[in-house]
Amino acid sequence: MLKQLAKTSSILITGGAGFIGTRLIDRLSLAGIEKIFVLDNFLEQVHGNNRPTFSSVVTCEVGDIADEGLVRRFVRDADPDVIFHMAADTGTGQSMDLPRRYCTTNITGTAILLEALKAISMPDKSRHIVLPSSRAVYGEGAYSLENGTIAPGPNRSPADLATGKFDIAEIRGLRAEPIKTPEETPPNPASVYGSTKLMQEYLVAQLAPVSGLSATILRLQNVYGPGQSLSNPYTGIISNFIETVRQGNRINIFEDGKISRDFIHVEDVVSALVAAASVKEYPNPINIGSGQATSIIELSSILLRVLGAPPHDFFISGQFRAGDIRHAVADIRRAREILSWSPSIGLEEGLRSVVDWSTQKTSN
């Protein structure tokens, strides 16, 4: 896949200075890509005071994806063959407090980018856009019903959560069991963030064909790995748990600890992004995850062991957050078939890489 990308003359990465983007740039640079254009707003919440150092093949512009004039100029200068559109505000909880910001960045910003790409479209030049979307578009994952059918899980009500009714035991009066979520599951986002990512998908699917673009849409599960912000409370449960343990506190596990997630290492995600850049004839979203469900209790035990702490040094508080989903794990058969991709880094190995990196970072 990298050999094919090495033949491109220019790659544009929006949000390229972020957690996943910097790893993608490292991979592309090793492949011999000579022109990489990066647009990033260096939001303090995400980056703090740290900014990555790029090689000479990278042209980095500091600016916002919703700045129409800037985006049009930068896209024209880059004249990209491949676009990785990664600029987005992330965080399901924060999105419920800042809906306008999330809509402006994720929806308006995507529309501005697509308009800018359409403005430079040429009949004899093909361009390909890769959109990293999110499993948040599903809301609850898929469930198998006792009559043999599959249904999307309904969003849980705050009233049920307050009484300790955490599981989704039945749907439409039928017993239900959580299963791996296939891409055919109807979207039902439970957060503003999920809704904006779904709208990104619609915009790319609808506008790419009339903008001289082919497109690949990836629905990422919970991405983690070295380089993930340890100070941003919205970046993920793993970094938050690491900081909790290092501060000498016990991990607070919400609900009954049986919430499940699909954790995928950033290096596996980068491999999927590279593979997606070469797939130009497949219009449907593709799940990217480990394909394995991990409960929060299991995650905590493994992480505590890796950190050298007692594996049961956590407590189950019963606290909950409205809008949280109960079960999420990806069916990744489509990724194996279409992208010839599969994850290669197991959870314990991946957690060790995060802990080793964060230890080195905090000791410097």
Domain CATH for 336: 3.40.50.720
Quick one: what percent of the chain has pLDDT higher than 90? Answer: 77
Across the range 101-125, mean pLDDT stands at 95
Whether pLDDT at 65 is above 90: yes
Print the domain residue range for 335.
2-363
- CA dist 193 and 99 (Å) reads 8
Q: Give per-residue pLDDT as tens, 125-155.
A: 889 999 999 999 999 999 999 999 999 999 8
Helices (H) and strands (E) in the chain, counts: 14, 17
- For residue 46, the model assigns a pLDDT of 66
Predicted TM-score of the model (pTM): 0.94
Alpha carbons 159 and 165: distance in angstroms, whole number: 9
Q: Any catalytic annotation for residue 138? A: no
Residue 287, pLDDT > 90, answer: yes
Alpha helices in 208-295 (DSSP H): 237-246, 266-276
- Are 172 and 145 in contact by the 8 Å Cβ rule? The answer is yes
Element (H, E) at 170: strand 170-171
**Per-residue pLDDT, 235:** 58
The phi and psi torsions of 68 (rounded to 5 degrees) equal: -60, -45
Residue 272 class from Cβ within 10 Å (0-12 exposed, 13-18 middle, 19+ buried)? buried
pLDDT at residue 318 greater than cutoff 80: yes
Burial of 273 (0-12, 13-18, 19+ CB in 10 A): buried
Going by pLDDT thresholds of 50, 70 and 90, the confidence category of residue 45 is low
Is the pLDDT assigned to residue 295 strictly greater than 90?
Answer: yes
pLDDT for the residue 178: 95
Q: Catalytic one among 138, 193, 202, 282?
A: 193
pLDDT at 230 over 90: no
pLDDT for 86-100, tens place per residue?
999 988 888 889 999
The pLDDT score that the predictor gives to residue 364 is 61
**51, pLDDT greater than 90:** no
φ and ψ at residue 224, rounded to 5 degrees: -145, 170
Number of domains in the chain: 1
What's the pLDDT at 334? 98
Helix, strand or coil, per DSSP, at residue 176: strand
Mean pLDDT rounded to a whole number for the chain: 92
pLDDT, position 2: 62
Reported as a single tens digit per residue, the pLDDT across 4-30 is 666 667 999 999 999 999 999 999 988
At 327 the pLDDT is 95
Structure tokens at 263: 């954790």
Q: Find the range with the poorest average confidence among 37-46, 256-265, 275-284.
A: 37-46
Looking at residue 208, its pLDDT comes to 95
Residue 200 has pLDDT above 70, yes or no: yes
pLDDT of res. 131? 98
Q: Classify strands 58-62 and 82-85 as parallel, antiparallel or unpaired.
A: unpaired
pLDDT at 7: 65
Q: Which residue(s) pair with 288 in the sheet?
A: 220
The answer to whether residues 334 and 287 touch, using CB atoms and an 8 Å cutoff, is yes
pLDDT at 98: 92
| pLDDT recorded at residue 49 | 65
Q: What is the pLDDT of residue 228?
A: 85
pLDDT of 234 > 60? The answer is no
pLDDT by residue (tens digit) across 160-169? Answer: 999 999 999 9
